Structure 1
Amino acid sequence: MGRSRPFWRLNAAERRIWEAYPTGTPVDLRDGKNDDPGEGRTWGRGREVRAEVLAALLLGISENQPGRVPGIRLAGARIVGDLNLSDAVVTSRLHLLDCYIPGIVSLNDARTQGVRLRGCHIGRLRAGRATIDGLLDLDGSTIENGVRLDNTHVTGQFRMSRAVVGSPSGPSKGGGTDDLRGWSQPYNEGRASEPVTQVAVAVWAGGLTVEGGAFMRGLRTVGGLRFIGARFNSGLYLEGAVLSGTDGHAVFADHMQATAAELSQGFTATGTVRLRGARISGVLSFDGAVLKAQGRVLHLSHMQVDELILLPASIEGGINLGYSRVGVLFDRPDCYPGDVHLNGTTYESLRGPAVLADRLPWLHRDPDGYRPQPYEQLATYYRRIGHESEARRVLLAKQRARRRTLKLPGRVWGRLLDIVVGYGYRPWLAGLWVTLLLAAGTSVFSHWRPHQIGLDESRSFNAFTYTIDLLAPVSVFEQRGAWEPVGWTQWLANCLIVAGWILATALIAGGTRVLRPSNTS
């Protein structure tokens, strides 16, 4: 057993582990009958291992064998007590498979080699500020009271696929109040005057850095994920994950950075997915996701992303894209069942089945009311791809939306400009009105000829040129002063004069952009 062993008594399982450690030989305590870690409390003493024995080995109590790589490779054990490696430098590997660990696994401020806890049932995992040189593997594990990885650095991959994680409900045995710090925190987004509520988080990983991919496919949580300021330098993959936020947020990842983020292919979130200020240098995908929240379901404001794929299978709630910069926005009309914040949002390209008739209602649904920028941005996009007519329709819709914000005189004048020349974006309307008025005036004055004012010279009357003179703000053919309408046609003549001034003013307003729709025009 070795003179360095400080334990006077080791049970049979511990003795096997002690002897196997110097060479890293696997120790398998599974019996093939009752190997479900969820039932680990029923396992007999033959599978019982004290956590302090494992810690002593990992901290170097045993002599290593030259030319061999030491480590613990243990399967099917019931580990008693808290496995405390806080502040330690662990140079050997720790691989636990299908083990039952009801206490705390603590790696706070430690530096370790790769850690694998696959298929285990764990009370709580704490690895705040740890540095893990290699793989952190929690695939298939159940962690009852949450995972803490704040400011942790993983140089390899982080794996938590098919894991089940609950949120802390209170201090664990021997943990003290510090165990809850970072789990049930007062949270009010900096608004000290508002009531403070307690939040419970399944995975608290603010400031986490993962150099390899972070694979959390099929993850199940009761409580949200906190990735505020986290960096995923090879991507974040949450396909098929089911997250239930207990405080209204399923994912809280302000200022997160990632090369890609896949919240897709069955990803299900009950609660807000918040990525405010995130930087995604590749694709952020919600393709096939199921998203549901009271109020805002996606908070993606102030974000920068190369491509945003917004094609969820189901979505309930509002979306905030305000002040975000998107390279390609791939969406469809039914992606926006609630309010949409678009003020300040810019994009280079739009993809998907949505046509202009779908985009215009998209612009009208800002709960803060009319904002000019979303219209100008959409018009800029259509103009850039050569769709000038669509750009004009967008800018016309902008003026109509703006009109609803004006006082009564402004609304009346705006309505008149809309009818006459479409705010300058439909100048053909002025031609149509002139044609109709010319036809009406010519017809009327042909039947009810005006009287000549001056009888000292002979003049021939032409109803067409006379009507043109009435419509023109300045007499062109000198017909207006030579002939005077009679009877009720005086009212028609006055109406034609007024209509001519209105048409001229509207054309000038549209032509010179007195009602300038945007800088893009």
Structure 2
Amino acid sequence: MRPVRSFPRLSPAERRVWNAYPTGAWVDLRTGDPEEDDPARGAGWGPDRTVRAEVLAALLRGARQAAQGGTAGLRLAGARVTGPLDLSDATLTGKLHLLNCHLAGAVSLNDATAVGVRFRGCDLERVRATRCTVKGLLDFDGSTVHAGIRLDNAEVNGQLRLSRMRLSAPGERLKPGANWMVDTRRTISLEEARERRLDQVRHALWAGGLTVTGATFMRDTHVTGGLRLIGAKLRSGIYLQGSVVTATGPHAVTADMLECGSAEFSAGFTATGTIRMRGARVGGTLSFSDATLKAPGRVLHLSHAQVDEVILTPESIEGEVNLGYSRIGVLLDRPDAYPGGVHLNGLVYEALRGPWSVAERLSWASRDPDGYRPQPYEQLAAWYRRIGHEPDARRVLLAKQRDRRGTLRPAGRAWGGLLDLVVGYGYRPWLAALWAVVLLTAGTVAFGAVPPVKIDPEEVRVFQPFTYTLDLLVPVSVFEQRGAWDPVGWTRWLAWTLIVSGWILATALISGAARVLRPGPAA
């Protein structure tokens, strides 16, 4: 045990903390007046509530051992902690639990190992816990952190609690004309330093590579700055219901390659800035139910992701949505979830849910800001086929051909328009029958009124207007009528029109059938 003389001038408050540590007893310095005990006013607390950070650090580093049969721990309420609390590289000998405390200096837990760390309802300047290991609960519930929390590559073998917090990104503290030294051991200018630190300054929570075995709770928290969760592994999910994230840069949440059980950006969650989850893996539900999402450009970037279920039913949303090249089990959404463009190219889903009509789904599939893409139509048609809606699948594929027509050269557009008019690109073959009926009727009436003349007067034949018209429409003469009779006057133009129309109908039917019978997308 380190002797008390290491701190020869302990204040009465410090002495109480020193003596309580071996048994883990609480030291409560609060007055009982909620206004006076507000940690935000802690800078004005007097000596009777002031404890030096170095005293706390010495205890946690092993200055005093646990009492016989007891469990050591630092449990302190209502204290003003002066100086930086530096626990870097330490193995904490007891649990750290601060309640309603004011810490003006930075808290450093870099590379530290602890059995439990709790700052509940505290007012902290900054927390650095890079690569730390917490074998239990890491708790900041109800606290205010003015200059951000760093948890990059940390490991929490328990829950991470960040609920009901006020969390802000670190401000730029560089003074004009100052220089910074970097790892390359060369001096850089203020402007270059600002540029290098810009991303860090924009994030209130810096937690790339963080691993949490329990749930991560961040409910009803107000964040000024972004949440950086790149490559984080949140095994039991992350829950941000009711939280408000106001980005100071382009991204409110940066969570590329995130792995988690579930992710709840729901129940009043509000984000001003892009939510980027490119390449994320969500084993449960990714929910934006009743959320408010707003960004000047892309509001949700969820490309190349794998998610069991996506619920995209926000209260309001402004900006583009990118779901490209993702694999989603169930997509539950509404038509108003995509007020801007939507990137769907490469998206694969097992099921669609929501109050959609076929026309609305077609509009959804056609709104890629990059222009025509065939895959969204094919995927949608495959889904309709899988649920037994073959007519709707054909309608989708027809819309695909019509959208594709706009990308072709003039000749291709003209031929495509003709195929659409005559047989609906093969998906509406009944149109050909309709055209045939119209042409047959017109020819029968016209040739009945103005019969053609017999080419061979000696041949015995009885003229039938219907059979003659049908023989003109068929590309190859079947009834041998067109060679036996010669139209007269204006009916010659009608006969030529019928012959050309017959060839067009036959060609369109063959071309359309080839499109329909071509192997389509896998259902």
TM range (shorter): over 0.9
- Give the letter for the 2:31 counterpart: D
Tell me which residue corresponds to 1:190: none
Tell me which residue corresponds to 1:39: 41
The whole-number CA distance in structure 2 between the counterparts of 1:57 and 1:178 is 34
> How far did residue 3 of structure 1 move?
3.7
Tell me which residue corresponds to 1:372: 374
Which deviations, in whole Å up to 9, do the C-alpha atoms of 1:293-351 show, x marking residues without a partner?
A: 01100000000000000000000000000000000000010000001000000000000
Tell me which residue corresponds to 1:13: 13
The whole-number CA distance in structure 1 between the counterparts of 2:5 and 2:375 is 73
Which deviations, in whole Å up to 9, do the C-alpha atoms of 1:86-140 show, x marking residues without a partner?
A: 0011131000000000111100011111100000000000000000000000000
- Which ranges in structure 2 are unaligned for 5 or more consecutive residues? 184-189
DSSP 3-state at the match of 1:162: coil
1:321–1:110 Cα change, 3 Å = same
DSSP 3-state at the match of 1:89: coil
Superposed CA RMSD = 2.1
Residues 226 and 252 in structure 2, CA contact (< 8 A), matched pair in contact too:
yes
Tell me which residue corresponds to 1:167: 169
> How far did residue 4 of structure 1 move?
4.0
DSSP 3-state at the match of 1:212: coil
> How far did residue 185 of structure 1 move?
6.6
Residues 185 and 199 in structure 1, CA contact (< 8 A), matched pair in contact too:
no
1:155 aligns with 2:165: no
- Give the letter for the 1:372 counterpart: P
Residues 146 and 167 in structure 2, CA contact (< 8 A), matched pair in contact too:
yes
- Give the letter for the 1:379 counterpart: A
Counterparts of residues 177-256 of structure 1 (less than 5 Å): 186=196, 199-256=201-258
> How far did residue 178 of structure 1 move?
8.5
4+ runs deviating over 6 angstroms: 176-180
The whole-number CA distance in structure 1 between the counterparts of 2:336 and 2:521 is 31
Which deviations, in whole Å up to 9, do the C-alpha atoms of 1:429-478 show, x marking residues without a partner?
A: 00000011101100110110000001121110000010000000000100
Counterparts of residues 408-487 of structure 1 (less than 5 Å): 408-487=410-489
DSSP 3-state at the match of 2:481: coil
The whole-number CA distance in structure 2 between the counterparts of 1:43 and 1:457 is 124
> How many residues were matched structurally?
509
1:94–1:178 Cα change, 3 Å = farther
The whole-number CA distance in structure 2 between the counterparts of 1:60 and 1:172 is 37
DSSP 3-state at the match of 2:289: coil
- Which ranges in structure 1 are unaligned for 5 or more consecutive residues? 188-195
TM-score (norm 1): 0.95
> How far did residue 396 of structure 1 move?
0.1
Tell me which residue corresponds to 1:94: 96
Tell me which residue corresponds to 1:191: none
Which deviations, in whole Å up to 9, do the C-alpha atoms of 1:408-429 show, x marking residues without a partner?
A: 1100100000000000000000
Residues 395 and 517 in structure 1, CA contact (< 8 A), matched pair in contact too:
no
> How far did residue 357 of structure 1 move?
1.1
DSSP 3-state at the match of 1:513: helix
> How far did residue 65 of structure 1 move?
1.2
The whole-number CA distance in structure 1 between the counterparts of 2:465 and 2:306 is 65
- Give the letter for the 2:88 counterpart: S
Tell me which residue corresponds to 2:337: 335
- Give the letter for the 2:170 counterpart: P
**Identical-pair percentage:** 62
Tell me which residue corresponds to 1:404: 406
Residues 319 and 339 in structure 2, CA contact (< 8 A), matched pair in contact too:
yes
Segment of structure 1 superposing worse, 17-26 or 60-69 = 60-69
Tell me which residue corresponds to 2:108: 106
Residues 65 and 72 in structure 2, CA contact (< 8 A), matched pair in contact too:
no
> How far did residue 152 of structure 1 move?
0.3
DSSP 3-state at the match of 2:16: helix
> How far did residue 255 of structure 1 move?
0.2
The whole-number CA distance in structure 1 between the counterparts of 2:482 and 2:91 is 102
1:116 aligns with 2:118: yes
DSSP 3-state at the match of 2:369: coil
Which deviations, in whole Å up to 9, do the C-alpha atoms of 1:369-425 show, x marking residues without a partner?
A: 101000000000000000000000000000000000001110010000000000000
The whole-number CA distance in structure 1 between the counterparts of 2:181 and 2:211 is 26
- Equivalent residue in structure 2 for 1:296, among 295, 298, 301: 298
